[in-house]
Amino acid sequence: MLVDEMSLHTEACAVKTAIALAGPGLSADVIGNVWADPFGAFLLQTLDERSIGAQRVSRDPDVGTSATTV
């Protein structure tokens, strides 16, 4: 079966919590690892767009960014 469209969304617990906290104007940061891949870049871009700190998110070439297709 072919699909007409696919889109990326951030669903990680830490990211969802940070987004919820940043919504009413609270300060939030995320700590963790992402791989140096397009998924990791998307996650960091999303955090930046929502003014969520990502200084402690490292881009590791040896750790894969988790992804789920639903």
List the pLDDT tens digit at each of the 70 positions of the chain: 788 888 888 887 888 899 899 888 889 999 988 888 888 899 999 999 999 999 999 888 887 777 787 7
CA distance 53 to 56: 8
Q: How far is CA 65 from CA 10, 15, 37, 50, in A?
A: 12, 13, 8, 20
Enter the tokens of residue 11: 């669903």
Residues 31/57, Cβ–Cβ less than 8 Å: yes
- Helix, strand, coil shares of the chain, percent, nearest 5, are 30, 20, 45
Whether the predicted model's global pTM rises above the 0.85 cut: no
